Structures are given as C-alpha cells and as structure tokens.
Amino acid sequence: MCKPAGCCRFITALLLCCAPLVQCAPAAPARGAIVQKSTEPLISSPAQFHAALQDWVETAASPVVFRLSPALQRKWEELVESGCWGEYARKCSVRYLESGQVTLTLDYRDYVRLKHARRDAAARAALSAEHKQVLKLAEKYTAACTRPGMAPFEKVVALHDFLVNHARYDATGGGDIADVLVRGRGSCEAYSAAMCLMLEIAGVPARVVVGEAGCAHAWNLVKLGHEWYHVDVTWDDPIVAGGSQQELSHAYCGVSDAEISQTHSWNRSAYPRSGAIPSFYFHQNGRSYASFDSFWEAAMQACRAGQPRFEAYLKNYGNSQTFQKNLKRASQKSPGPSRIIWSGPRGASGPVIINFETQPSR
C-alpha cells in the first residue's frame, strides 16, 4: 500500500527557511529622551511559547513579534524550531535581534487561513475569489455528508469516504484544498488539509500531522471523545489496476500510534498520544474478529450477498504465510469464490482486505 516515491514534495522544505538577522544592541538613549516600554509579549518558557503559537495559528496572525526572557535567548533557535511549523505553514522566516526580540513571518497553509475565515467575517471578506469558492464548497460538501445527531466518528467516516470517492491521489498534484475539492486530484498535503477544514466545519477537532511514510507525508489526527486517532485519507485512497480504478478502504481510518507507526513516522512529542482502541473503525462497525474462522465466515457471508470485497480487523493474522495457509484450508473445507486477492497488515494483527472474483480469470 506504499505510495510511490516522491508522493509528497512539500514537507522537506517546510520547517524553517531562516535567515536570522542578529543586530547589535542599540546605543543608549540620549539624556532627557523619552524611553517607551516594549509592547511585545514576553515569552519566559517553552510552554508559554507553544500556548502563544496556538493563539497565532487560530487567528492566522503574521508577522508576530515577541521578546524572549534572558534564559530563553541563549536557545532561541531550538525554541523556534520546536514549533513544528510544517503542520501550519509552508514557510516560517525568522528575524532575531540581540535584544531578544523575535519576528516570525508565516506563510500559512490554506486550511489555517480558511478555518480562521469561518470565525472572522472580515477575514472571510478578504479571501481571494478562489479561497471563497473553496470555503463554500467545503461547507456545501460537509453539509451534504453529515446530518444533525451524527456521532463524531460517523462524521469522520462520512468525510473520509467522500474525499476518497471525490478525488484521485496524484503524486505530482498540487497541495492546496482547491486541488482536491475543485480540480479533483491532489497530493497528501491537499487531502489532509481538506479533511482538517471539513472536520472543523463538522465540529470535530482535527490536526494535520507531518512526517514520513516512505517519503515526506501528511495525514490527520482526529479527536473522538477524550482520545485522538490517526486518519490517513491518502493511504485509504489507493490507485490499483494500473491506475484505472480506485477502491475505498478504511485500513487507516481511526488507528492508533502503535498501528500507524508500522508504516509512518512523525515527531511524537509535537502531537498528542493516539489510540486507546486499535483500528477504531472496525471495532465500531462490528468487524473485529479474534480468529480466522470467524473472520472467514463473515467474509463468505459478504461474498454470498454479492459484495465484491470485504475488509475487517483480524487479531490473529500472524503473517502472510499463516494467512495463506488458513485460506487454503478454508477453501478446501467449503468452496468459495474462484479467486481471492487480499492484502494484510505488516504486524501480527490488523486490517485485512479481500477482493472476490466469482468467475475464473480468462
């Protein structure tokens, strides 16, 4: 299920494009001059910096100016880099003065600006014509996919499925929400940004995660109750059959840190811990099986009902050789479809997807 190399071009250059300007302290004011007190907020701890960062992002503020306490001035570069700007901005330029004053100029990702525009009428009015169109589409599609009374996870699944069915993954595609919602194809940056914006509209807390998955990659964290879960719409939107067909999958819809870390990596200290329940989607939908026999019985029921595919969580998957042996044993006991194509997890348990062919291949 690994995406092609170079699937996400944007992240490697995201964190900081810093050309720090260190300026000598100004000369003492002349006698009798009026000295004005600094109006920039004073940042005295990393926790205070990260709290301020959240406020800046909420309002899409740029540039932002603040002062560092003497204790923090010695490690200002480390502090600024800890902001993990790739989640919020394509570029963050930094101007640092010897006095401890820091100016950050942020080129925010479009979902940050659009989330702010939903909460601020003046910001909405100032949007470009394309961004206004994108925001209207996001609100229209979210309203069409969700309904009053829906549980938060039902909204997550509905929007996940909409994006998979609406757009096509394109390794060379753009990274803006418009690429997915308007033009119908985009990179993982576009998928994750669109998902984050639409979940905001639906009232479900969400974040964009930037990391690696064979290449630079982006996906989402969503908050359900008191727990966070990973959702990777891009990896659930595979291109198969030589690019001629797309299939909807839920293998990465509501998974834990332990599960997604088999294929993805990210700066865990920058994000909340995830996943009290593994493969939340399958547990919520009653598709979690402790044994191969119970899994196979449910799969055959789906096949007899005319479903072309079946996906479920199998606790004792083992490995591909074990699963293949179990398939052979089950097929000998009771004939099933003429051909099965399947994919399984990298670990000993996880989602298994089966595609049925009821007629022999020719």
pLDDT band at 28 (very low <50, low <70, confident <90, very high): very low
pLDDT tens figures, 142-187? 999 999 999 999 999 999 999 999 999 988 888 999 999 999 999 9
DSSP codes, 52-64: HHHHHHHTT--SE
Indicate whether 117 belongs to any domain.
yes
Residue 115 located in a structural domain: yes
Domain boundary (87, 110, 133) is at 110
Non-local (6+) Cβ contacts of 326 within 8 A are 292, 296
In this prediction the pTM is 0.85
Query: Could you tell me which of 298, 295, 253 has the C-alpha nearest to residue 277?
Result: 253
State whether 272 and 247 are in the same domain: yes
Determine, yes or no, domain membership for 139. Answer: yes
Same domain assignment for residues 172 and 97: no
CATH of the domain at 208: 3.10.620
**Mean pLDDT (whole number) for 347-352:** 89
Six-digit token string for 173: 């595609």
Classify residue 175: in a domain, yes or no.
Answer: yes
Q: Do 262 and 146 share a structural domain?
A: yes
Count: domains in the chain: 3
Considering the domain architecture, whether residues 130 and 88 belong to the same structural domain is answered as: no
Note down the domain range covering 177: 111-283
DSSP state letter for 30: P
pLDDT tens, 248-268? 899 999 999 999 999 999 999
2 domain residue, yes or no: no
Q: How confident is the model at residue 312 (pLDDT cuts 50, 70, 90)?
A: very high
Of the candidates 76, 110, 144, which is a domain's last residue?
110
Name the percent of the chain lying above pLDDT 70: 86
- Same-domain check for residues 126 and 185: yes
Whether residue 233 is found in the same domain as residue 250: yes
Give domain status of residue 32, yes or no: no
Beta strands in the chain (DSSP E): 42-43, 64-68, 89-96, 101-108, 168-169, 185-186, 206-212, 216-224, 227-231, 239-240, 245-246, 253-255, 265-266, 288-289, 309-314, 339-343, 350-357
Final residue in a domain of this structure, among 266, 283, 300: 283
Same domain for 265 and 146: yes
Q: How far apart are the first and last CA of the chain?
A: 26
Same domain, 62 and 149: no
Q: Are residue 62 and residue 144 in the same domain, yes or no? A: no
Are residues 240 and 146 both part of a single domain? yes
Spatial contact of 87 and 272, defined as CB atoms under 8 Å apart: no
Q: Are residues 237 and 118 in the same domain?
A: yes
Query: How confident is the model over 53-95, as pLDDT tens digits?
Result: 999 999 999 999 999 999 999 899 998 888 888 899 999 999 9
In a domain, 31, yes or no: no
Residue 29 lies in a domain: no
* CA separation for the pair 187, 103 (Å, rounded): 31
- Please state, in angstroms and rounded to a whole number, the distance separating the CA atoms of residues 3 and 362: 29
Regarding whether 300 and 243 lie in a shared domain, the answer is no
